[in-house]
Chains A and B, each alone.
Chain A
Amino acid sequence: MNAPEPTLTPNRMTYREASKQALREALLSDPRVFLMGEDIGRYGGCYAVTKGLLEEFGEERIRDTPLSESAFVGAGVGTAMAGMRPIVEIMTVNFSLLALDQILNNAVTIPHMSGGQFAIPLVIRMATGGGRRVAAQHSRSLEGWYAHIPGLRVLTPATVEDARFMLKGALADPNPVIIFEHVMLYNMEGDFPSDMKEVDIARAKVRRAGRDVSLITYGGSLFKALQAADALSSEGIDAEVIDLRTLRPLDTKTIIDSVARTRRCIIIDEGWRSGSISAEVGMRIAEEAFFELDAPLRRVCSREAPIPYAAHLEDACLPQAATIVAVARELIRPS
């Protein structure tokens, strides 16, 4: 009865608060770090992630920008080339298209094109994903597009723990890093050990171990996959859930190891199916774990349409736990 008290007491907070604490920690620990983006200062951030930081760190380090995505992302590239550690917020991935030239043609190209003379230690944060009834132009999930680009690191924190600690890893990377924060996660609460200081951003993670099928996903679909796994367990199907966490470079080993155990795989991706990160994951499995497979590869992706406003249409567009359950069931117990 005198078992020692557990040394770890969980810290509990929202994903939003975890993201804010991560930024605050970065600002406190490195004077080269500064924030730049639309409405991150006075407004407190479109998703309230940066609320209070302006008051604490001042206008020079918490820089509100006009609606000039190309200019302020390019400025982020320039400051990174000239000795700073910028964290640029693009309000949502949808608007990042206005800055794509700076991301692709400059940020990820200059290190290589200059023969290694310059690194671009730039972190870009952006909200992503659908589910908020805000129609097509505000609901895209383009993580997979960015994951196509060599030279970028693409992070998709899907847990409070990752929201809290992935930024630190991103800032330690001498290369451009994009952090995608799914809009449906900001209010989610979660906990992590209070003595936790960092996470490994190089590895995917088994969020739930299982024997029968691997549900491979990332970002906003992680919790749908976990819900599906719960539902499946009541049917006696033991699903493993893999959180990719980093879409580029992909941690192929964790994927292959999981599929080699379960021999079945469903990839859940809020991106459109064609040419998606799910296609990439599937192909890697085909290349590296073909002989392990005991069932065809399956995917649950967004329907190939712009995300509509109407709730029933949007829900039908996006991957849902019920769909994952149905696909898993059919894979394991074909009717």
Chain B
Amino acid sequence: MTKKVHLDHAHLLHLLKAMIRIRHFEAKCVELYQAQKILGFLHLYDGEEAVSVGVMEALTPEDAIIATYREHGQALARGVDPKCLMAEMMGKLNGCCRGRGGSMHFFDRKRRFYGGNAIVGGGLPLALGVALADKMQRRSAVTACFFGEGAVDEGEFHETLNLAKLWRLPILFVCENNLYSMGMAVERAEADIDFVHKASGYRVAGEKVDGMDVVAVESAARNAIDRIRRENDPYFLECRTYRFRAHSMFDAQLYRSKEEVEAWRKKGPILRFQTWLEANRLIKPEEIAAMEKEIDVEIAEAVAYAEAGGLEPISELERFVTMDEVPA
């Protein structure tokens, strides 16, 4: 049953590059945030890259994605243009949402990217709807719904899993369990920290996967998607992961120790994957250097594009509050 991921050289490079792109993009965001070019909240995905990169490998362009406010990784991995994302970060007219959404609300209709949702659990019912619409329109698409373990505390998780199973909707639930909902440790919030077990309470099948291992995530996601398409049934993946940085930018991290963070950093998805590739001589150091250079050029271009972007005229502020038509 289990499908092996086809790990050829190009694919390995691709996975590594996708993760490094996210890491470097966000490092630039922090710099721009400190320069006050990016404002508001900035929730970094640093440490969790393997989850979105791994899952995205399993999706086709027809599939749909629902993400959270920590969605830089999902958007980049899905192939949304970093230029538009950086411009959105900086509130520019040439951003993916014309500067209306910002860091937490990337949308890309063409890539079926249904948004970063900043209400914890708020995206889950949307996933139901997108999947239901696909099913009713006889499309074979799967909806990948990302959410943190904090969303499991919300009623929407339970309502949605129940309905997804009841209506046999093609949804891949991806629980990014980074162990903390803001400062609330998972074991302090949940009577049962076995999320796969919770999902099984709604008869939604699922499994735990090491979210720090991009190959493991990709493999699990591919199998999950195959199963969803085959059995017309939702599936639940708990990706155990860790965020290395603060919840958002203003967080003294009183709720966890430096030692804990350091210990997890040693298991970091990029470090681990790259080390493994190097140890097995699957990648040459100069390939990595060239890849990083390419990524940095790409990000520099994104920043330049964003900097050059204009501002939405204030006269347009109320545009799209109501739509004149449903976009085709």
A residues with a Cβ closer than 8 A to B are 34, 60, 63, 65-66, 68, 70-84, 86, 101-102, 105-106, 110-119, 121, 150-151, 153, 174-175
Contact = CB atoms under 8 A, between A and B. Distances in A.
11 contacts: A65-B163, A70-B125, A74-B122, A78-B131, A82-B64, A82-B133, A106-B122, A113-B100, A115-B97, A121-B326, A153-B322
Contact of B114 (A63, A68, A81): A81
Contacts, number: 159
Contact of B132 (A68, A79, A113): A79
B125 A78 contact: yes
Nearest to B127: A78
Interface in B96-119: 96-101, 105, 107-109, 114-115, 117, 119
B124 A71 contact: yes
Interface string B267-309: 0000000000000000000000000000000000000000000
Nearest to B88: A115
A70 B137 CA distance: 23
A118 B107 contact: yes
Given A83-B137, A105-B122, A114 B107 contact: yes
Interface size class of B (residues with CB under 8 A): 35 or more
A78 B320 CA distance: 18
A243 B115 CA distance: 39
A175 B323 contact: yes
B107 A113 contact: yes
A154 B115 CA distance: 26
B100 A74 contact: no
Chain B CB within 10 Å, residue with most, of A66, A77, A116: A116
Nearest to A102: B125
B163 A79 contact: no
A255 B131 CA distance: 44
Contact of A110 (B115, B156, B163): B115
Contacts of B128: 71-72, 74-75, 78
A94 B171 CA distance: 30
Contacts of A151: 321-322
Contact of A78 (B130, B167, B318): B130
Contacts of B133: 78-84
A295 B132 CA distance: 55
Interface string B306-328: 00000000000011111111110
Contacts of B64: 82
Contacts of B321: 111-112, 150-151
A79 B136 contact: yes
A114 B71 CA distance: 14
Contacts of B167: 63
Contact of B163 (A71, A101, A105): A71
B100 A114 contact: yes
Contact of B105 (A70, A113, A121): A113
B97 A111 contact: no
A60 B156 contact: no
A66 B160 CA distance: 11
B163 A75 contact: yes
A119 B122 contact: no
Interface string B155-189: 11001101100110000000000000000000000
B238 interface: no
B126 interface: yes
Nearest to A68: B159
A183 B132 CA distance: 31
Contacts of A71: 124-125, 128, 156, 159-160, 162-163
B312 to A, nearest CB: 9
Contacts of B125: 70-75, 77-78, 102, 106
A75 B137 contact: no
Contact of A79 (B101, B107, B129, B320): B129
A301 to B, nearest CB: 28
Nearest to A108: B321
Contacts of A70: 125, 155-156, 159
Nearest to B323: A119
A274 B105 CA distance: 34
A92 to B, nearest CB: 18
Given A74-B125, A75-B125, A116 B319 contact: yes
Given A70-B159, A78-B132, A84-B133, A175 B107 contact: no
A51 B39 CA distance: 53
Nearest to B106: A114
B49 interface: no
A105 B129 contact: no
Contact of A116 (B115, B117, B119, B320): B320
Leading 3 A-B pairs by shortest Cβ distance: A78-B129, A74-B125, A71-B159
B129 A76 contact: yes
A328 to B, nearest CB: 36
A84 B137 contact: yes
B134 interface: yes
Nearest to B125: A74
B326 A114 contact: no
Contact of B107 (A74, A83, A117, A153): A117
A153 to B, nearest CB: 8
